[in-house]
Amino acid sequence: MTPECEQVLDLVGEPLPAPLAAHAAACGDCRALREGFGALEAPPSSAPPALESARRLALAELAASPRPTPWWHELALLLAVDAAVVAAGLLALGRKGLVLNAAPAPVVLTLALLLLLVVGGGALLALAPLRRPRPWGALGLGVAGLAVAQVLCGSGLSHRPLLSGTLRCLGLEVGMSVAPLAVAMVLLRRAAFTPGRALAAGLSAAGAGLLVLHLHCPTGTVAHVLWGHVAPWLALAGLAVLVRSRMGSRSYAP
Amino acid sequence: MARFCQGEAAAFDALFLRYSRPVHGYLTRVTGSAAVADDLAQLTFLSLVRARGRFQAGSRVKPWLYAIATNAARDHQRRGRRPEELTSEGELPSTIPADLPAPRDAGLERTVQRALAQLPEGQRLPILMHRFEGMGFAEIAEVLGLTESAVKVRAHRGYARLRELLAGLRDEVAP
């Protein structure tokens, strides 16, 4: 490809200055490119009947719901469900005390705040109508770091046999995640499917249950936290992506 | 757009009048089928109505509408419906819908469609929007949720690849 060919490439669809026009006329490849694009530009068609049908349907939809729902209502709803799950979970499980995690208090508090950030930030990333490139890489790194910190910063204490304790926490986390995940899936149908959005919604929704376990569970061994707390959280987020990918969308808005 | 967001039918009609044909044409080029484009155009404008609460005041309508149309086409292809629209060789169909006027050169059009169909979506969509919808790279970046420089790189690579493909296909069909 000559430098002239590069310039012709940059000006596809636009008038060429005289020297380039001469090159394009002489160069077979450049001519093929420009003629090819010219051939696709058929004159505009008359309106297909389907467009009139689309117009009628859209107008009927508009008449049925003249007031739009702002997107942040959906965000507020998901966060309210997450908050309700955390409050109900801590109250239901916390008869012997709301916070039983025996790790140093600053560690417990820092990890709890980071989890809250994931719950809130994940919901925002999942539901906000941003069109700019989203910080998916930062989210992935943050979640990976938080998962490792959760596993490694436990108290190391064990109060139950590994299997029964892990299964109990796993069941509790899944149970507490059902409602937030269901609400998140319904809300996600109001925008186009993207794996990143679904993953963020899943991490946020399942994060509520993880937060309750983080504060309440007195067992802090690596194996227990890994298989009873963190692995179910990540698995539920993955499940959210799978389920959302198989659901239809009510709207394809970004 | 603000009046449409408040539910005014006349404002929707104005938007529809302005954008329905270009969007339909875009969807036809993306999917290679006028019939599929009919369905997707309907979904696009239904989405426009249903999701107008997600429109950010002050942003441009055209990139938002094309983003909806692109998402609808992607969803259609993701759900495995695209193979029905392709030829046995996995290419975009070369037939022209009956309601369209005859092209200037059907053979050449077929050649370009074959070449376009061979491009990855990431290169094909910026080219379709840049070349046929008259959109700037900043607008395309808005539609695709990418940075402007990323769109420029993809479009340039796509044009370069298309040039090679067109040269190759032309040699194939030349007597």
Does the residue A111 lie in any domain?
yes
Which of the listed ranges A8-12, A20-24, A141-145 does the model predict with the highest average pLDDT? Answer: A141-145
Contact of B30 with B128, CB cutoff 8 Å: yes
Does the residue A45 lie in any domain?
no
The reported pLDDT for the residue numbered B101 is 44
The reported pLDDT for the residue numbered A40 is 63
Nearest CA of chain B to the CA of A51: how many Å? 7
B50 to chain A: which residues are within 8 Å by CB? 61, 65, 190, 250-251, 253
What percentage of chain B exceeds 90 in pLDDT? 38
CATH of the domain at B150: 1.10.10.10
Does the residue A54 lie in any domain?
no
More confident of the two residues A162 and A176 = A176
If you search the block for the tokens 């058929």, which residue do you land on? Answer: A42
Are the Cβ atoms of B44 and A252 closer than 8 angstroms?
yes
Same domain, B62 and B104: no
pLDDT tens, residue by residue, A192-245: 999 999 999 999 999 999 999 999 999 999 999 999 999 999 999 999 999 999
pLDDT tens, residue by residue, B35-52: 899 999 999 999 999 999
Written as one letter, the residue type at B36 is V
Same domain, B101 and B175: yes
Same domain, A167 and A239: yes
Q: Examine the predicted complex and report whether its ipTM is higher than 0.95.
A: no
Same domain, A22 and A121: no
Interface contact B55, partner A, CB < 8 A:
yes
- Alpha-carbon distance A65 to A69, whole Å? 9
pLDDT tens, residue by residue, A67-125: 888 999 999 999 999 999 999 999 998 777 888 888 999 999 999 999 999 999 999 99
* Residue at which a domain ends, from B85, B105, B132: B85
Same domain, B128 and B78: no
Helix, strand, coil percent content, chain B, rounded in steps of 5: 75, 0, 25
The reported pLDDT for the residue numbered B47 is 94
Same domain, A77 and A36: no
Interface test with B, best of A29, A46, A62 (most B CBs within 10 A): A62
Are the Cβ atoms of B145 and A131 closer than 8 angstroms?
yes
More confident of the two residues A30 and B4 = B4
Does the residue A132 lie in any domain?
yes
| Per-chain mean pLDDT for chain B | 81
The reported pLDDT for the residue numbered B104 is 46
B69 to chain A: which residues are within 8 Å by CB? 252
Are the Cβ atoms of B50 and A39 closer than 8 angstroms?
no
Domain that holds residue A17: 3-40
The number of helices, as runs of H, and strands, as runs of E, in chain B is: 8, 0
A193 to chain B: which residues are within 8 Å by CB? 71, 75, 78
CB environment B13-34: b (16+ within 10 A), e (fewer):
eebbeebbbbbbbbbbbbbbbb
Chain A 187-226, residues with CB within 8 Å of chain B CB atoms: 190-193
Domain that holds residue B99: 94-175
Same domain, B64 and B102: no
pLDDT tens, residue by residue, B140-167: 998 998 889 999 999 989 888 888 887 7
